[in-house]
């Protein structure tokens, strides 16, 4: 049996992380088994569907790297892939139910006549679930065709899965109680149902169900904050699935290799924004310096910072320090422009060192006298300047760092010397001396 999975979003809003996680699990399962991942759009709610929402879903899936094999823009043998274009198909299958006496009219609408018997589903995640349809008061016959001629979700969902030859339906646990209804429909249509796997809901840290309004819910916000798609995919994969090892950092290829429904947890998955940011940092660290600089460039440009000199080398100084790409501009701003502010506490610490101003002034002269400029030569000048004043070189290192960066921490001083060059270093030493004199 060739595996065929599907993701069937409704274009009524942006791509939610819950939907993205569902799409990811379907994608991983299909890829793991060498099967087909289908995208179809449940766009029959004309009042709420928007082209912008549809485009946001497509853009979000592609940003995550979840390219579909069949569906809108990809084509396929089982289209159309928009439910709004499938009315004739639904009409045909409705007539099958009517011919078999499984529907009846009720006030202009049409109801599906349940068989009054227990229905047991064997879910690949939740295990065996039975719903007893013997009591009609608890399980009334359901409307499948409205009085206006439109069909309800349960019917079109089953027809689409049947027509598109879906073998595995992987969806959120909130659909679990719909499945026995769908099994009855498949039986009435004379078709073999797919296998079902209902994955745990995504919960907020406090245990409540994550809604579209909660922080971290909108996939479209992640690229704007400086998350890498591979990191978000990695994070989403761990919301309900476990590798059964201590490893947590995976590429999409590794996830495809390892994914199985047997490793999907039964309990709800708690969303952890800190974990997502940590994973992003791990993936940033794995980038080459060139790739990191390319990813960071739009954020630096948006911050209005000048990109000059060896930007790749400048960006590389913080590759292992930032968690999000949106943190890069602030982290490297002192390397890109000279009119930076000093951290108050750092400047006051330098001011409290009575020798600092004189030493920094002497160091500026020593830098100017160097015949060749290098990080080693600059550090040698620091040692000589401190020694001649009866101080230790270490006593001068912190004031020099504050002078060159305005900060108490940051890249190695040798890296800063190399990136700034002699003239900019001298200018910054002179500038801090003027500030200290005020």
Active site residues: 212
130 three-class SS? strand
Question: What's the alpha-carbon Rg for the chain, to the nearest Å?
Answer: 31
Cβ distance 60 to 232 under 8 Å? no
DSSP designation for 38: E
What token pair was written down for 435? 């500030």
Give all strands (DSSP E) within 24-167, no chain letters: 36-39, 103-106, 109-112, 118-123, 127-132, 142-145
Give the CA angle between residues 409, 411, 413 to the nearest 5°: 95
Q: Which residue stretches of 14-128 are H helix?
A: 17-32, 51-64, 87-99
86 three-class SS? coil
Calpha distance 293→325 (Å, rounded): 10
Would strands 195-199 and 168-172 be described as parallel, antiparallel, or unpaired?
Answer: parallel
Give the CA angle between residues 401, 316, 372 to the nearest 5°: 55
Start-to-end C-alpha separation, the chain: 80
Give all strands (DSSP E) within 138-250, no chain letters: 142-145, 168-172, 195-199, 202-203
Cβ distance 345 to 407 under 8 Å? no
Calpha distance 148→269 (Å, rounded): 40
Cβ distance 330 to 304 under 8 Å? no
CB atoms under 10 Å from CB of 313, counted, come to 14
CB atoms under 10 Å from CB of 218, counted, come to 19
Cβ distance 81 to 8 under 8 Å? no
Dihedral sign from CA coordinates of 173, 177, 182, 187? positive
Pick from 20, 38, 5: which is nearest to 236 by CA?
20
């Amino acid at each position: 049996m060739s595996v065929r999975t599907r993701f069937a979003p409704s274009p009524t809003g942006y791509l939610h992380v819950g939907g993205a996680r569902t799409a990811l699990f379907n994608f991983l399962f299909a890829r793991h088994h060498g099967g087909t991942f289908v995208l179809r759009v449940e766009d029959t709610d004309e009042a709420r569907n928007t082209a912008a929402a549809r485009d946001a879903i497509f853009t979000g899936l592609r940003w995550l790297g979840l390219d579909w094999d069949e569906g809108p823009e990809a084509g396929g043998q089982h289209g159309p892939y928009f439910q709004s274009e499938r009315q004739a198909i639904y009409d045909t299958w409705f007539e099958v139910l009517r011919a078999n006496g499984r529907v009846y009219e009720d006030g202009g609408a049409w109801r599906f006549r349940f068989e009054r018997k227990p229905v047991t589903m064997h879910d690949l995640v939740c295990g065996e679930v039975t719903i007893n349809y013997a009591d009609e008061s608890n399980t009334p016959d359901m409307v499948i065709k409205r009085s206006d001629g439109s069909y309800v979700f349960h019917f079109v969902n089953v027809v689409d899965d049947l027509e598109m030859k879906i073998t595995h339906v992987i969806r959120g646990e909130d659909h679990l109680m719909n499945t026995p209804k769908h099994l009855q429909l498949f039986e009435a249509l004379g078709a073999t149902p797919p296998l079902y796997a209902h994955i745990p809901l995504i919960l907020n840290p406090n245990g409540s169900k994550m809604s579209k309004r909660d922080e971290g819910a909108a996939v479209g916000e992640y690229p704007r904050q400086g998350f890498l798609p591979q990191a978000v995919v990695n994070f989403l994969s761990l919301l309900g699935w476990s590798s059964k090892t201590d490893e947590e950092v995976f590429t999409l290829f590794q996830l495809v290799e390892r994914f199985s429904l047997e490793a999907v947890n039964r309990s709800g998955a708690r969303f952890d924004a800190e974990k997502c940011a940590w994973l992003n940092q791990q993936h940033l660290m794995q980038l080459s310096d060139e790739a990191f600089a390319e990813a960071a460039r739009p954020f630096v440009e948006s911050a209005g910072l000048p990109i000059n000199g060896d930007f790749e080398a400048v960006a590389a100084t913080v590759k292992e320090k930032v968690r999000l790409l949106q943190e890069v501009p602030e982290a490297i701003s002192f390397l890109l422009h000279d009119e930076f502010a000093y951290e108050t506490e750092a400047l006051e610490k330098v001011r409290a060192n009575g020798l600092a101003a004189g030493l920094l002034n002497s160091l500026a002269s020593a830098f100017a006298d160097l015949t060749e400029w290098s990080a080693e030569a600059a550090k040698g000048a620091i040692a000589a300047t401190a020694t001649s004043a009866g101080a230790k070189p270490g006593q001068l290192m912190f004031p020099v760092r504050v002078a060159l960066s305005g900060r108490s921490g940051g890249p190695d001083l040798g890296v800063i010397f190399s990136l700034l060059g002699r003239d900019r270093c001298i200018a910054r030493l002179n500038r801090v001396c003027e500030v200290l004199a005020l």
